[in-house]
Amino acid sequence: MVARIPAAVVSVAVLAVLAACTTTAPTPAPSADFERHPAGVATRTGPFESGPVKPPTDKVWVGAWVKPDVWGQAGRRAAVAKVEKSLGRRFDVINTYRTFDEKFWTETDKEYVKRGSIVMVSWASGDTRSMLDGRHDDQIRAQAKRVARAKRPVMMRFRWEMDRPNLRATMWSPEDYIAAWKYVRRIFTQEGATNASWVWCPTAEGFDRGDAPLFYPGDDQVDWTCVDVYASSDYRPLDELMGNFLKWAAQRPKPIIVGEFGVAREWGSQRRREWIRDATRVFKANPQIRAVAYFDSDPNDNPSTLHFKISDDEPAFAAFRELADELSGVPRG
């Protein structure tokens, strides 16, 4: 099987996309065993070294990236509000994608922070070596100052999925990526952006290949560990898809956020519902997981194996609603 590797980068007038290695239709799904009880692997309960964004102690934060129908501040606001209304609650975490030169601290960022949601900035980087040469210092400092102006805790998911093979030309090597991470974080500290918790987020496939851990900057540099994981052309239970990540993360004194997760439209409403219900059990069995964010998007020009939107799929979304209720610890009346 050729691994599906998701990516999403947003600018004001650019559509979010997922990078994929295949567009072929999947083979029939195997009979996944969703009757078993997932084993706990990442069972640390804290306290954690997590930076300014402190993980909840009595629940799991539930959030999402919601693709707008129309790009811009109004479109972003409307998309999130629509899904939250269907969900019956506000998201704890709002994931948002920014290109390297795209500004943080927009009007919607301010609104979400003010109301108490955690904004997670998935920030695409430039070429690591040009960053280390100082060519982008002004740009990095400007972004750091914007984050500092937020004053409240913010998650910075710097160059997520850095382990993707199609990013090797700009990441160069794990050593270059780690050096760039430290370089950028140092500038943020210099500019007073100490309200940022740094989220390190490779792909689940990278742990299966064995190369993702090579990009880890170190416990002293990372506040939250993270993974992006999808049932795309491979319909398997979530704990199998990210099992190698969980084994690795269990050794780190860090809380976990599942930065992106989703189940492909290809598998149909009933299988999607089954998968999401199983995901709920996986999250509950691994108490080190303190936040999760669904990828509610059908990227343009991608096949149904790379379409993950569930807010328009009532059986699947009903399961997500149950997930949010169970993880938040608030029963629905």
For 309-321, how does the pLDDT look when each residue is reduced to its tens digit (9 = 90+)?
999 999 999 999 9
Averaged over 85-101, what is the pLDDT? 96
Please tell me the predicted confidence (pLDDT) of residue 302: 87
User: How many other C-beta atoms are found inside a 10 Å radius of the C-beta of residue 172?
Assistant: 16
Asked whether residue 284 carries a pLDDT value surpassing 80, the answer given is: yes
Asked whether residue 3 carries a pLDDT value surpassing 50, the answer given is: no
Q: Which residue reads 């990540």 in tokens?
A: 245
Q: Whole-structure pTM over 0.75, yes or no? A: yes
Between 2 and 196, the more confident residue is 196
Averaged over 1-6, what is the pLDDT? 39
Averaged over 145-159, what is the pLDDT? 96
Please tell me the predicted confidence (pLDDT) of residue 153: 97
Q: Residue 16 has which token pair?
A: 């979010």
Asked whether residue 299 carries a pLDDT value surpassing 70, the answer given is: yes
Please tell me the predicted confidence (pLDDT) of residue 269: 97
Alpha-carbon span 109 to 154, nearest angstrom: 10
Averaged over 110-137, what is the pLDDT? 95
Alpha-carbon span 36 to 45, nearest angstrom: 23
3-state SS record for the chain: CCCCCCCCCCECCECCCCCCCCCCCCCCCCCCCCCCCCCCCCCCCCCCCCCCCCCCCCCCEEEEEECCCCCCHHHHHHHHHHHHHHHCCCCCEEEEEECCCCCCCCHHHHHHHHHCCEEEEEECCCCHHHHHCCCCHHHHHHHHHHHHHHCCCEEEEECCCCCCHHHHHHHCCHHHHHHHHHHHHHHHHHCCCCCEEEEECCEHHHHHHCCHHHHCCCCCCCCEEEEEEEECCCCCCHHHHCHHHHHHHCCCCCCEEEEEEEECHHHHHHHHHHHHHHHHHHHHHCCCEEEEEEEECCCCCCCHHHCCCCCCCHHHHHHHHHHHHHHHCCCCC
Q: Residue 279 has which token pair?
A: 């995901």
Report yes or no: 197 and 51 within 8 Å, Cβ to Cβ: yes
Please tell me the predicted confidence (pLDDT) of residue 329: 79
Tell me: the pLDDT tens digits for 17-53? 333 333 344 444 555 667 778 889 999 999 999 999 9
Provide the pLDDT confidence category of residue 150 given band limits of 50, 70 and 90: very high
Tell me: the pLDDT tens digits for 248-280? 999 999 999 999 999 999 999 999 999 999 999
Tell me: the pLDDT tens digits for 46-91? 999 999 999 999 999 999 999 999 888 999 999 999 999 999 999 9
Please tell me the predicted confidence (pLDDT) of residue 277: 97
Please tell me the predicted confidence (pLDDT) of residue 23: 37
The torsion angles phi and psi of 29, rounded to 5 degrees, stand at -65, 140
Alpha-carbon span 72 to 96, nearest angstrom: 12
Asked whether residue 172 carries a pLDDT value surpassing 50, the answer given is: yes
Domain 61-328: give its CATH superfamily: Glycosidases (3.20.20.80)
Average pLDDT over all residues of the chain? 90
Alpha-carbon span 64 to 260, nearest angstrom: 8
Please tell me the predicted confidence (pLDDT) of residue 43: 95
